[in-house]
Structure 1
């Protein structure tokens, strides 16, 4: 527990915590889902499909809901995105499929609620039908998947469908990756991430091994010798530092760790400050800020160095923060963390503005202090390349380089998800894992078993 007396657990009672971390967006009833599905135009050349990284046939699954074919609807989703349940809950559909819905041009601001309909269909399948896919005859080939997040899970499931044996390694105790450890609890409540993992693993042929970290317990070269192929989905394990005075003060922590602690422990035991400052402008910053408020912080301020149009958090996420009592301050860059008698007391920021060249400018002579007894850093995550041994896997721009098939520069080793170039989205990670599995299968189909 923190040594700062203003950081403490148990600020709220059990009933209030349960309410604060219950489902942020309750599901549609079946009647509501049918009514919403009947609004769809079922476009032949649907722009929403193009906007979905996994290419789900959205009009087809929505039409199936409208005709009460729930099994058909769920299968249409899951054959493209086996983690369709979590994606429906956490993906920014407002800037993906729903943004492209043609209803936006006819009923401004009222696209089909594609994410809610997808959730309705997948939840029905998980509750009534179980795993809809069967495993092909075993091929005798073995594939190692390192990292049990969305990319690794999607890859493992598709490989199992093809009949390959998969060993899924992860450094955590539980599979799920960011869905289990990095997403706000109210987005995936009721242990949904683990329910989805169990649903996915039910296809068979996948062995999950926890507590195994690349570089500590195994190497890429060693896995490559033991397995017919390797898929790396190791995510972004590093966290950027602020690089300012006072960053080592008690009460300063990265937002990723704060969220993981909240997801891994009894909420009553997770310490939170009375006055919390969150520094950053992405979804992680919003998740940390809102959850700090819902844990009982009296005052939470999210501070971003530029304007709202530059934030990676969507407008929906920004509005969600504000409706949850989070104050959002823009155009401010941290200068130092302020201490009084050795205890964190606030953050000093320099005011900024956009210069004529479009770049941010900060006036170090014009600063202000926001009082805080807890500071959460959410200024970005980075790929940690140290566990990759041998130097034969090319890295550029802080990510693992892959070709169109998902293969790295090391033969037989593939990669996908946040550790490779592209959007840092759950749905994009699922696509990477699925497509790499198909590429691996194409190669293994031409190879004799060991």
Structure 2
């Protein structure tokens, strides 16, 4: 649990709380762990990895001292394998499938993946070369995990790839949306540079639909990939959301990565609305910013929360409180317009409806007030519906409809992958590693569609 002494605390002191929490494996630890691996034939860990990394192979290369080969094996299958080594729910994926679960402990696959990719980063390795130019062009809208993955595969196949990114830096969720004590910025930046080294053009600070028209992109490129992710946290729809001290969780986490650490929450009481991974990130960041008490309020139970189990356990270790079956009904403020409380009501769950989820309904007469100094909204994310409709694509509430085999949208030359196709019962769980695999598969579908004839490079 993070402990903060409020006496004479400074922002420099608080910034130490945002250093990476999982220590590096030492060389000996990595060798010992690698040598525990059974190098299974038809290994279940490979099948459990959405990107299909040859896990026994990369571990065996660590054991033999071939760290460059190990890193290349990882990154061949997963273009952002350094980030995924830190943020993947390995307990549920590769490590969860490890045969050693039945006897001892699973191999620390995530730690070993990090060990090999960190070696490549520290030793400034360039592991891939662009393919011979084939004369075809692809535009990718969004430089997050899905977009970067697609760009890397297309560049290897010889396409001229341009990514349009609205933000100042590429990387999407990995750059802006995952707390620095889990995923430091330099990891995401290195992965972006690896992809840029393949002659991929990344045009940052370029918002499609504003800085460049959708029509221009449709006209000038042979294929387009929409990998735009999701937008800001939507309004709660209650009174008091405009008070000082009410934050959007996405922006809140972003500022821990892009701005100097603030002392604004030092000694404060914080309520976080929601129970997904972003809510956990907001809560644990609040603890690290010196908050005295942090509560997560969720209108359902722990069984329905969308946060990973390891994130939930991590938050509890940090001292975060969880108030289940609790929904906010208004945010209270003082005469100066600052948050000083939140009124809530207890909820109960109905029987499952058509989509299998039990709907929370309020229990009359159970209203109560919590004293808080800040409220962080983490109740999901809105969608870029306007941009989707500028492309004239079929969608359901901002979730783009695709052919699940090819990732092709309702417009022949436009494909979509990543968070923009997750949700509304489509495409399984929204994980970084799943978005990466979708980016790869989208690139292969484009390659099949265009069937380019190889021409000499310029």
TM-score, normalised via structure 2 length: 0.90
Distance 1:190 1:440, change over 3 A: closer
- What is aligned with 1:227? 221
Name which of 425, 430, 436 aligns with 1:430.
436
Matches within 5 A, 1:128-277: 128=123, 130-189=125-184, 191-202=186-197, 204-268=198-262, 274-277=268-271
Give the deviation of 1:275 after TM superposition. Answer: 1.3
C-alpha distance 405-190 of structure 1, shift in aligned 2 (>3 A): closer
1:351–1:362: 8 Å Cα contact kept in structure 2?
yes
Structure 1 Cα separation of the partners of residues 349 and 401 of structure 2: 34
Tell me the alpha carbon deviations over residues 47-68 of structure 1, each in whole angstroms, 9 at most, x when there is no partner.
2222211111112211221222
Instruction: Spell out, residue by residue over 1:270-313, the C-alpha distance to the aligned partner (whole angstroms, 9 max, x if none).
Output: 76771111011011001011111111222211112222122111
Q: For the residues of structure 1 that align with 2:185 and 2:165, how far apart are their CA atoms?
A: 22
Higher alpha-carbon deviation: 78-87 or 216-225: 216-225
Secondary structure at 2:123 match in 1: helix
Partners of 1:215 and 1:389 within 8 A in 2: no
Match of 1:326 in 2: 320
Q: How does 1:334-413 map to 2 (within 5 A)?
A: 334-341=328-335, 342-355=337-350, 359-390=359-390, 392-396=392-396, 398-403=398-403, 404-413=405-414
> Distance between the aligned counterparts of 2:193 and 2:383, measured in 1?
28
How far did 1:389 drift? 4.3
Counterparts in 2 of 1:211 and 1:42: CA distance versus 1, 3 Å: same
RMSD: 2.2
**Distance between the aligned counterparts of 1:257 and 1:350, measured in 2?**
27
1:70 to 2:67 alignment: yes
Is the 2:263–2:289 contact (alpha carbons within 8 Å) kept by the matching residues of 1? no
Tell me, yes or no, if structure 1 residue 113 matches structure 2 residue 119.
no
Secondary structure of the 1:301 match is strand
Distance 1:16 1:296, change over 3 A: same
Q: Give how far 1:143 is off.
A: 1.3
Aligned length: 437
What residue ranges of structure 1 are gaps of 5+ in the alignment? 1-9
1:30 corresponds to: 27
Q: How far apart, in 2, do the equivalents of 1:268 and 1:361 lie?
A: 37
Q: 1:397 to 1:100 in 2, by over 3 A?
A: farther
User: Equivalents in 2 of 1:11, 1:256: separation in Å?
Assistant: 29
Find the counterpart in structure 2 of residue 419 from structure 1.
420
Q: Deviations along 1:405-431, whole A, 9 cap, x unmatched?
A: 111111211111100132221111111
When structure 1 is superposed on structure 2, of 36-45 and 110-119 the one drifting more is 36-45
Alpha-carbon distance between aligned partners in 2 of 1:190 and 1:415, rounded to the nearest angstrom? 26
Q: Which runs of 5+ in 2 are unaligned?
A: 1-6, 353-357
Decide whether the 8 Å contact of 2:228 with 2:420 is kept in 1.
Answer: yes
1:249 to partner: Cα distance: 2.0
- Matched residues in 1 for 2:157 and 2:9: separation? 49
Q: Secondary structure at the match of 1:87?
A: helix
Q: Residues of 2 paired with 1:270 and 1:408: CA distance?
A: 45
2:88 to 82, 87, 91: 91
CA contact (8 A) 2:51 2:436 kept: yes
Q: What residue in structure 1 maps to residue 44 of structure 2? A: 47
Task: Tell me how far 1:359 sits from its aligned partner.
Answer: 4.6
- Alpha-carbon distance in structure 2 between the residues aligned to 1:144 and 1:273: 48
CA displacement at 1:267 relative to structure 2? 1.4
Equivalent pair of 1:277/1:376 in contact (CA under 8 Å): yes
1:81 aligns with 2:48: no
Kindly indicate whether the alpha-carbon contact (under 8 Å) linking 2:388 and 2:400 is maintained by their aligned counterparts in 1: no
State the SS of the aligned residue for 1:333. Answer: strand
**Secondary structure in 1 matching 2:363:** strand
Q: Could you tell me whether the CA contact under 8 Å between 1:181 and 1:259 is conserved in 2?
A: yes
Equivalent-residue separation in structure 1 for 2:233 and 2:391 (angstroms): 23
What is the DSSP-based 3-state SS (H/G/I as helix, E as strand, rest coil) of the residue aligned with 1:392?
Answer: coil
Equivalent position of 1:311 in the other structure: 305
Which residue number in structure 2 is paired with residue 3 of structure 1? none
Cα distance, 1:195 vs structure 2: 2.2
Alignment CA distance shift 1:162-1:12 (3 Å):
farther
